[in-house]
Amino acid sequence: MRYPELPESLLRLEEGLLDTWREEDLFRKTLEATAHGKPFVFYEGPPTANGKPGLHHIISRTLKDLVCRHQTMKGRSVTRIAGWDTHGLPVEIEAERKLGISGKPGIEELGIERFNEVCRESVFTYKEDWEKLSERIGYWLDYSRPYVTYHTEYIESVWWILKELAGRGLLYRGFKSVPYCPRCGTALSSHEVAQGYKDIEDASLFFLCPLLEESGELDVEGRAFLAWTTTPWTAPSNTGLAIHPDLRYVEAAASGRRVILAEALAEKVLGDGVEILRRYSADELAGRRYLRPPDLVPAPEEAGNSWSVVLEDFVSAEEGTGIVHMAPAFGSDDYTAGQRHQLAMLRPVDDRGRFLEDIPVVGGLFVKDADSLLIEELRKRGNLHSSATTVHSYPHCWRCESPLIYMARDSWFAATTTLKEEMLRENRKIRWLPPEVGEKRFGEWLENNVDWALSRDRYWGTPLPAWVCEEEEGHVVWVGGLEELGELAGGLPDGFDPHRPFIDGITIPCPSCDGTMRRTPGVVDVWFDSGAMPFAQWHYPFENSEEFEKHFPADFICQAIDQTRGWFYSLLAISTMLGRGTPFRAAMVNGHILDEAGQKMSKSRGNAVDP
């Protein structure tokens, strides 16, 4: 009996097997052989092909193929449609590098049309690398008809979804404090923010807000509230102090001053044996007014209840002083409390994250660079208690890694909080592997869900299909497809590209008045693009309705654990908002490969290893 010769190495053995599969067209034959089998629907999470694949992509792709191949061997007809994520900041940042520009001013000087042309050219830079990696590791995907998020058909389905959500009362325009990237010049959603936290060293500032008498004169006893913040740059925008209604507060002697803070934190902040002079209930302090710590920003004529003490449940006795400094223009809780208590909103910062030029002391500076100057200004005014540095977790842009700031901005939102219970209920129907991911990490994320900030002040993305009247901004028309837009606008050019800047020039008459409607300038969060794939990969509902219904929901999806706050969430949120329930029955979640510094590997960090 003769045996074949041993291969030179395991590498040669694998390469020979791949050659055989390629010659036999084995993947295609398995699809044909199981075409009439019981369907097993798999959704592929779309990678961004303008960045190279890394070693960290192999884990989830191996797990995906393991499950899908097992189902194929059982005779199931397995859906393995490939997909490409082609919009958003990952593509824009790469285009900026290629063009040698940085930020929105450079893009707008170049022109949106040329910039988006470079974005389009770059989206498939490493497409062959991804396809070769898939073949090399034996991961079978059908690349013959992939879904591509920048294709007109895909965009049209996303528009349809948005119009459906608007019709259900789930979309609204709001002026809210949102996480904002000054470098990219756009707001981010909560699930994007969750992917970009870093431990950094920041200033830890304890500062004084002197009490005022009802007459407006300084308190005759020289008392002052002691507040704490790790964002000294927000001190010029302070318009309120928050205390907890159930906490006890004390007046204590400190460095020749009489300061007020939470009793539970007095010794931690002022030291053991601190002298307590008086005790207060929260109700006794609520409504008291105080002197602005640094009055660098002009006060508005209508200041409401600004520079007064208010009661809020979000105040904690775990850290700080039990007195929260509030700048409603630069914090989510601050903004909500400011609206509730009629506190002025001072926003002396431009879209680049720099103080306005006419602001004393810090004019023209990037906010994070102004901390030391503001601390010194408080010292000069006698309102500095102490300052040090502290290491804490701070949000950064998930793509450009710039520090984010929370800033009040005009944005479009999806009211996902109104469907929290529905999403929690649908989550309980999903088989999570491992189970604790669904119960803990994903379930807790849903419990703390906030409304989804949908709009991005950027260029290369699915345009928001909302047309707003120039005469009355309350008149809004959501457009659900190109045919509908053509009818409203009196026709569209042949082969119309719905991207910016072409879509920006399309106007429609307002159906509610004699005004002209123009499209709101934003584009859609790229995570909405990818979360729409169960519908948009079929150009649903414009065609392939039967195919869509056969492939919804998925039997199986698989991604790394960070997607619990990314693709997994956007899939579930969109489907639930459309009233379709969970879009996947089972989700397998893998961990991350870390580099030598213990950081997860990613393209944006530049620490990925070429497989």
pLDDT at 544 over 70: yes
Confidence class of residue 383 from pLDDT cuts 50, 70 and 90? very high
Q: Are 123 and 84 in contact (CB under 8 A)?
A: yes
| Mean pLDDT of the chain, nearest integer | 91
Residue 610, pLDDT score: 64
Structure tokens at 368: 């994070």
Query: Which one, of 436, 428, 426, 518, lies nearest residue 472 by Cα?
Result: 518
Residue 11, pLDDT score: 86
Structure tokens at 344: 């002025």
Report which DSSP code applies to 468.
E
User: What architecture is the 198-395 domain classified under in CATH?
Assistant: Alpha-Beta Complex (3.90)
Residue 120, pLDDT score: 95
pLDDT at 354 over 90: yes
Considering only residues 297 and 183, tell me which one the structure prediction assigns the higher pLDDT.
297
- The model's pLDDT over 308-334, given as tens digits with 9 standing for 90+, comes to 999 999 999 988 999 999 999 998 889
Confidence class of residue 95 from pLDDT cuts 50, 70 and 90? very high
What is the maximum alpha-carbon separation in the chain? 108
- The model's pLDDT over 434-491, given as tens digits with 9 standing for 90+, comes to 999 999 999 999 998 889 989 998 999 999 999 999 999 999 999 999 999 999 999 9
DSSP conformation letters of 86-144: --SHHHHHHHHHHHT--SHHHHHHH-HHHHHHHHHHHTTTTHHHHHHHHHHTT---EEE
pLDDT at 593 over 80: no
Which of 210-214, 411-415, 447-451 shows the lowest per-residue confidence on average (mean pLDDT)?
Answer: 447-451
* DSSP-derived 3-state class of residue 187: strand
Element (H, E) at 77: strand 77-79
> Cα separations (Å) of 288 from 211, 259, 586?
7, 14, 55
- Tell me the average pLDDT across 420-435: 96
- Percent of the chain having pLDDT more than 90? 68
Considering only residues 10 and 541, tell me which one the structure prediction assigns the higher pLDDT.
541
CA gap 80, 65 in Å, rounded? 10
CA angle 309, 311, 312 (to 5 degrees): 125
- Spell out the CATH class of 34-193+405-464+522-611: alpha beta
Confidence class of residue 213 from pLDDT cuts 50, 70 and 90? very high
- The model's pLDDT over 243-264, given as tens digits with 9 standing for 90+, comes to 999 999 999 998 888 999 999 9
Structure tokens at 100: 């040698």
Residue 606, pLDDT score: 62
Q: CB neighbours of 481 closer than 8 A, spacing ≥ 6?
A: 156, 159, 160, 542
- Give the ranges where 168-221 is alpha helix by DSSP (H): 190-193
Query: Does residue 47 have a cis bond before it (omega within 30 degrees)?
Result: no
Residue 600, pLDDT score: 62
Q: Are 420 and 447 in contact (CB under 8 A)?
A: yes
Token pair 């928001």: residue: 464
What number of other Cβ atoms are within 10 A of residue 137's Cβ?
Answer: 16
Q: Is residue 488 exposed (0-12), middle (13-18) or buried (19+ Cβ within 10 Å)?
A: middle
Confidence class of residue 180 from pLDDT cuts 50, 70 and 90? confident
pLDDT at 413 over 60: yes
pLDDT at 41 over 90: yes
Residue 336, pLDDT score: 85
Bridge partners for 34 per DSSP: none
In 539-585, the DSSP E strands lie at 557-560
Token pair 């901005």: residue: 409
Residue 351, pLDDT score: 85
**Could you state, in order of their start, the residue ranges of all structural domains in the chain?**
1-26, 34-193+405-464+522-611, 198-395
Region of 541 (left: φ > 0; alpha: ψ -120 to 50; beta: rest) is: alpha
Residue 12, pLDDT score: 87
Confidence class of residue 174 from pLDDT cuts 50, 70 and 90? confident
Active-site positions?
A: 46, 85, 527, 563, 567, 600, 603
Q: Is residue 372 exposed (0-12), middle (13-18) or buried (19+ Cβ within 10 Å)?
A: exposed
Residue 179, pLDDT score: 82
Which one-letter amino acid corresponds to residue 508? I
Report which DSSP code applies to 330.
G
pLDDT at 611 over 80: no
Token pair 């497409």: residue: 127
- Percent of the chain having pLDDT more than 70? 96
- Tell me the average pLDDT across 189-207: 79
- The model's pLDDT over 110-149, given as tens digits with 9 standing for 90+, comes to 999 999 999 999 999 889 989 999 999 999 999 999 999 9
Query: Which one, of 242, 241, 238, lies nearest residue 345 by Cα?
Result: 238
Do 34-193+405-464+522-611 and 198-395 have matching folds?
Answer: no
CA gap 41, 59 in Å, rounded? 20
Bridge partners for 589 per DSSP: 559
- The model's pLDDT over 512-538, given as tens digits with 9 standing for 90+, comes to 999 999 999 999 999 999 999 999 999
- The model's pLDDT over 22-40, given as tens digits with 9 standing for 90+, comes to 999 999 999 999 999 999 9
pTM: 0.82
> Cα separations (Å) of 357 from 147, 301, 364?
47, 21, 5
Confidence class of residue 601 from pLDDT cuts 50, 70 and 90? low
Confidence class of residue 603 from pLDDT cuts 50, 70 and 90? low
pLDDT at 604 over 60: no
